[in-house]
Amino acid sequence: MSGFEIAGLVLGALPLVISALEHYEDGLGTYRAFVKWGDELQKARRELLNQHTSYEMTLMYILQDVVSDTDLAEMMCDAESELWRSEDITMGLTRKLGIAYKPYMLALREMEDVMNTLALHLDIDKAKRSTRNELESIVLANRPATSPNHGAPKFHFNRRVKFTMKRREVIRLLERLQACNARMDTFTEKAEKLEEPNKSGWKSTLSMPIQQIQEYAISLHQVLSRAWSCSTHHSHCANLMLEHRMHGAAPKYESLKGPRLETRADTTEDLAKLEVIKDLCSVIHKHQNSSCFGLCLDLQGMLRGIYQGTKQNSSAAGDLITLEELLTSPKCKQWGQLTDEDRYTLAVTIASSFLQLHKTPWLGERWSERDIVFLEKMDDRRHVVDVRRPFVTQTYMKSLQNTSTPTATIYSTTPSTSHDASTNLLSLARILLSIRFNNRIEELRQSSDTGPNAVRNEASDLQTLKRWVTQEKGNLSWAFKDAVSYCMRCFADPTADLEDPDFRHGVIDNVVAPLLEELTYLRDGPPKG
């Protein structure tokens, strides 16, 4: 018992010890109690009651933003509830307290030590099975006879209670208990003040400004739109690999269906010696046996190349499958075998990439599971999908126009004229739930969601998502639940605007960062206490 469950043990022990001391005093009688203790025993009981009240209020305050009202009520009423052992709650407290989490836990352990010392001097029933310490033993053996939600818990003891501690030792232990409570209050208060605007290391911006990322993405799109001049193909497809970039990851631009492309803004090669690329299709075809080759942009935004690339990632050859197909295709049974780390990684990457690319041609005006694609290969006669490397795809169509050169071909796309932030955030909520539960919203819709006309729209999707979250509440981690809920609230917010830096940072803080923090917790384990 080295986690937050200690808090539940102490919460259950305090009223038990108070009640035991009351029974001990009653057993002594007024005269003997006064001769032996003076008024110190009554003072001790009053101080324990004060510390119990303070401790209970501290726990309620620190937990109110981490658990639901129902779960909070259960935890306060049942010191043995499994919720005290919940990793999601531990993760939420770690995020809320920040650097104060470790000293907070040290204060809890000291309170446990104080209560255990008191328990050692109480002669009451103890659990027959093996327990962590004396304190846990008496708590398990002496459950309250009345529920705490009907006033202070009452305990029945099978025999006369004995207490063998000296006055001075009792006073010293109560002083330690009071000091622990005070430290926990201080940590909680300061953590609350630091919570806004930045309470956690995860509450940082991306590795580079979003405007810069978007400029690079738009520039790449524009360069690619001019780089196809072959008459063999009606269209060409480019795929952009998504990365969350919360840890300074370098941008990667991929072209599937062939060798890897490496692009960068500068190179040690003399740009003047590199040819301007006018027909990227023929260049890719010519170097299809190369594992990686590089292209670069000159100061005029012209695509030049090629040079030998340095990336040594796995092959990009294979077919593409969308997230929607992945969720529905019977051949992709490996989806059910994904680890939680896979799901978190995908959720973080997609949520962050939405912020990075929402204003660029790489994301449409409305986006969905069909806009996210993965590389699918056959490996030992099995379909293998690399879900940790999602892409968005852009198709460059060839259109003939009246120009001075009749044979000229112009490649163009249909760029978005507007980007509905609130609607796309609702889509993000849907995608996150789909990733978490390997399901699609279409499988969960009910006739009551669409109204009398049976028309599916954003409002009906919101209704379905609300029911989905409610049904899966016990299976949603703290970060997933809050990320999805935040996106749903933003949908209903008429002021939602991803061009507003404060709003954008709010999405990072409430969607991307919590998921990334839980991913790190899952991968690296909890902070060392």
Residue 111 scores a pLDDT above 90: yes
Task: Name the pLDDT band for 330 (thresholds 50, 70, 90).
Answer: low
Regarding predicted confidence, which is higher, 174 or 311? 174
Residue 255 scores a pLDDT above 50: no
| 321 Cβ contact list (under 8 Å, min separation 6) | 329, 332, 373, 374, 376, 385
Residue 241 scores a pLDDT above 50: yes
Residue 419 scores a pLDDT above 60: no
State the average pLDDT for the chain.
Answer: 77
Task: Name the pLDDT band for 528 (thresholds 50, 70, 90).
Answer: low
In the structure encoding, which two tokens stand for residue 508, read together? 């990072």
Q: In percent, how much of the chain has pLDDT > 70? A: 75
β-pairing, 319-322 vs 162-163, is unpaired
Distance of CA 385 to the CA centre of its chain: 23
Mean pLDDT of 386-400: 80
Residue 130 scores a pLDDT above 70: no
Regarding predicted confidence, which is higher, 343 or 267? 343
Mean pLDDT of 501-512: 88
Mean pLDDT of 327-348: 74
The whole-number pLDDT of residue 156 equals 73
The whole-number pLDDT of residue 336 equals 52
Distances (CA, A) of 411 to 168, 233, 367: 88, 11, 22
Domains of the chain: which residue ranges? 5-195, 210-257+316-524
Residue 473 scores a pLDDT above 70: yes
In the structure encoding, which two tokens stand for residue 23, read together? 């029974």
Q: In percent, how much of the chain has pLDDT > 90? A: 12
Integer Cα distance of 383 and 336 in angstroms: 13
Pick from 18-32, 154-168, 192-206, 485-499: least confident = 192-206
Residue 284 scores a pLDDT above 70: yes
The whole-number pLDDT of residue 311 equals 56
Task: Enumerate the β-bridge partners of residue 393.
Answer: 239
The whole-number pLDDT of residue 119 equals 81
Residue 474 scores a pLDDT above 90: no
| 424 Cβ contact list (under 8 Å, min separation 6) | 354, 358, 363, 366, 367
Residue 149 scores a pLDDT above 70: no
The whole-number pLDDT of residue 68 equals 77
Mean pLDDT of 268-289: 76
Integer Cα distance of 412 and 229 in angstroms: 12
Mean pLDDT of 149-168: 70
Distances (CA, A) of 342 to 337, 411, 436: 10, 37, 10
Pick from 62-66, 107-111, 308-312, 407-411: least confident = 407-411
pTM of the model: 0.57
Helix (H, G, I), strand (E, B) or coil at 512: helix
Mean pLDDT of 13-26: 81
The whole-number pLDDT of residue 381 equals 67
In the structure encoding, which two tokens stand for residue 26, read together? 């009653």
Residue 60 scores a pLDDT above 60: yes
342-374 per-position pLDDT tens digit? 899 999 999 999 999 988 888 877 788 888 998
Task: Name the pLDDT band for 404 (thresholds 50, 70, 90).
Answer: very low
Residue matched to tokens 């112009």: 410
Mean pLDDT of 323-329: 79
Work out the number of other CB atoms within 10 angstroms of the CB of residue 374.
Answer: 22
Q: Which one of 153-167, 173-187, 208-222, 463-477 scores highest in mean pLDDT?
A: 173-187
The whole-number pLDDT of residue 344 equals 92
Cα pseudo-dihedral 99, 104, 110, 114, rounded to 10: 170
Regarding predicted confidence, which is higher, 479 or 443? 479
Integer Cα distance of 488 and 1 in angstroms: 37
